[in-house]
Amino acid sequence: MRITSNAADRPGTVFTVPPEGFLFGGDYNPEQWPEEVWLEDARLMQEAGVNLVSLGVFAWGNLERADGEFDFDWLERSMDILHDHGVAVNLATPTAAPPAWLIHAHPEVMTVNADGVRTGQGGRLGWAPSSATFRWYALRMVDRLARAFADHPALAMWHVSNELGNENIYDFGVETAEAFRAWLRDRYGQVEALNEAWVTAFWGHTVTDFAQVEPPRTARTHHNPGLLLDWDRFTSDALLGHLIAERDVLRAITPAVPITTNFMIMRTGNVQDYARWATEVDVVSNDHYTIVSDPQSHEELAFSADRTRGVAGGAPWMLMEHSTSAVNWQHPNAAKVPGELIRNSISHVAHGADAVCFFQWRQSVGGAEQFHSGMIPHAGVDSKTFTDVGRLGRILRRIGEVAGSRVRRGDVALLWDQEAVWAYGSTRKPSNALTFHDVPLALHRAFSRRHIGVDIIPSVSDLTGYSVVVVPNLFLARAELAERLQSFVSAGGHVLVTYLSGIVDERDQVVLGGYPGVFRVLLGVRVDELYPLPAGEEVRVEGLPHSPLTARDWSEHVETTTAVAIARYADGPLHDAPAITWRRVGDGTATYVSTGLDDLGMQSLADDLIRVSDLQPLVAEAPPFVELTVRETDAASYAFLINHGTVEAYVELDGTDLVTGGEFGCNLPAGDVAIVRLR
């Protein structure tokens, strides 16, 4: 895997993490097993094709058993064995799990919840990012670890902590409160500016000194939306500050060793501004787990993988964690069906991953995650799971030439902004039943089923080269974005904006004059009233192909100013009012969708934009249940085909299937995958 640094201070630096080709492996915890098992593990890793493991993620208590008493000998023995068997190490700083002695000596390092209750010993990631005491102990451990293993031949990468912000996403303690106030002073300068930004005059929240500001601890009413938005901004920055602090220690000691940390980009949500975080690591890594209750989980996987590629700037990235089968935190924790392990893994690769790693190598016999699946399950190597792991390893070796390639640039850009996610959740909207991810997922799904490439990119990204830009419920939007979209459309591009977009500015204040706020002029519409639909209630929409279409959750009273209605409400309180509008702008068009269309309606919208933009699918013919993505280099192109259906699929494609080594015969069996080097 070739890693191009995203770090601002080392632009263009390229690292090669041995070996060439795809990285394959997972979290390895030798400290949980008798030492006589380690040699057997290394042998089985060779058998399965594993070439990289993350080591020491939760090992702090075994590396520093008492304050200042370090023992790296066992870790060195484990790394020696791995190196002798051709397995490289992504060595973790073990700071996700502070040891018991540290918690007992300094309970103040642990997070405090909104009710004032301090986190006790027994979980993980219980520490507060703003704790100076924790930072001191953590950086001492990082320094000692880096010096101990700087020259070890197995060391290939550094893995900073683990899932920063997962369990310690918010801390409401005294030390964090003071750090929040300092952050606000830096942001606003004067307390008057804070009062203006937050509209503190409402409910009498005006403050006369930054010292009067408190974190959003438990209150009997809803907190100020401006406060909540800034609290999320601060929290993301505090976690990032810890990442940077550990990273800088590692860089000072091992400047040539690339550094990563595992993001958590998936539908379950997060508070981290990963587009910003990505600039501070050498390679973007992500953890992703499918939700078993979601019948379209493979499409959410593709969406999240495309988001990961978007924050990586289009560069290859690492899948640091996913599961071979069941996890231990869903309801129910169902096992993956036959072939799903392969399909999930190859889908991540299809969307840009150059590493496929799992949590974890051996399924634990005890501990909180003893029923989380592993590459070697409780049943042992004579199991379906380990057989599939071996097959996946063989596939990754066969397609090794694809590593380092990039996913072909999409024709469609879907804009994502983490601040919009925060703002969306910061206030009581006319309906709070809508989740932020639903509309972006639905539109991504609609284009993907037509085999049109979609890039999910930060809203600040350059839009040059795209034919279509989709703006799905971008609740917080800056005027600057509206201006760039106006220029994009005037030059011949096509924009689709959905309801709940452009509602508030960067201060979380409503843009006055009617919805959709900053996008009113571009779209040629004005909304003066919002009509959320009660649960279970539907309205019909007429005008698009396949009408009447069904809509639910949301509707709006839309007035057209310079736009025309291309679909209207066929019933309900807004009968005959515009539901979807269209406006010609220069050589392009701007479409507004004021209601929650079902999948068929979203597909009709996507199909219309594909027709208007004259977009060509990645292949001439393929059914919608076949996931299709193309990765390419200057010398070759590779089509990834994944059949998520229950019947064989015909895909019109000519080339060599790297999985089988033979010519691709255009027929892909149900549940199978193919990676075709195109002619």
Q: C-alpha angle 85/89/93, rounded to 5°?
A: 150
Give yes or no: 321 in active site.
yes
CB contact at 8 A, 679 and 655: yes
Residues in contact with 486: Cβ distance below 8 Å, sequence separation at least 6, in sequence order: 521, 522, 585
Give yes or no: 163 in active site.
yes
Burial 200-231 (b: 16+ CB within 10 A, else e): beeeebebeebeebebbeeeeeebbbbbbbbb
Point out which residues pair with 26 in neighbouring strands: 53, 358
Report the 10 Å Cβ neighbour count for 321: 22
| Residue 481: strand, helix, or coil | helix
d(CA 406, CA 404): 7
Q: Which strands make up the sheet holding 468-471, listed edge to edge?
A: 454-458, 412-416, 468-471, 494-498, 588-593, 578-585, 564-569, 538-542, 549-552, 596-597
| Residue 399: strand, helix, or coil | coil
Q: List own/partner pairs for 4-7 with CB under 8 A and 24 or more apart.
A: 4/315, 5/258, 5/282, 5/283, 6/278, 6/279, 6/280, 6/281, 6/282, 6/283, 6/284, 6/312, 6/313, 6/315, 7/279, 7/280, 7/281, 7/282
* Burial (CB count within 10 angstroms: exposed 0-12, middle 13-18, buried 19+), residue 534: exposed
Return the residue matching tokens 């080097």: 677
Catalytic residue, from 163, 246, 300, 419: name it: 163
* Amino acid identity, position 594: S
Burial 146-184 (b: 16+ CB within 10 A, else e): bebbeebebbbbbbbbbbbbbebbbbbbebbbebbbebb
Structural tokens at position 75: 């870790």
DSSP-derived secondary structure for 54-109: EE-TT-HHHHEEETTEE--HHHHHHHHHHHHTT-EEEEEP-TTS--HHHHHH-GGG
Burial 53-85 (b: 16+ CB within 10 A, else e): bbbbbbbbbbbbeeeeeeebeebeebbebbbeb
CB contact at 8 A, 612 and 494: yes
d(CA 652, CA 244): 48
DSSP-derived secondary structure for 16-37: E-SSSS-EEEEEE-GGGS-THH
Q: C-alpha angle 145/151/152, rounded to 5°?
A: 80
Structural tokens at position 268: 């379950």
Catalytic residue, from 64, 280, 300, 321: name it: 321
Report the 10 Å Cβ neighbour count for 652: 9
Residues catalogued as catalytic: 163, 321
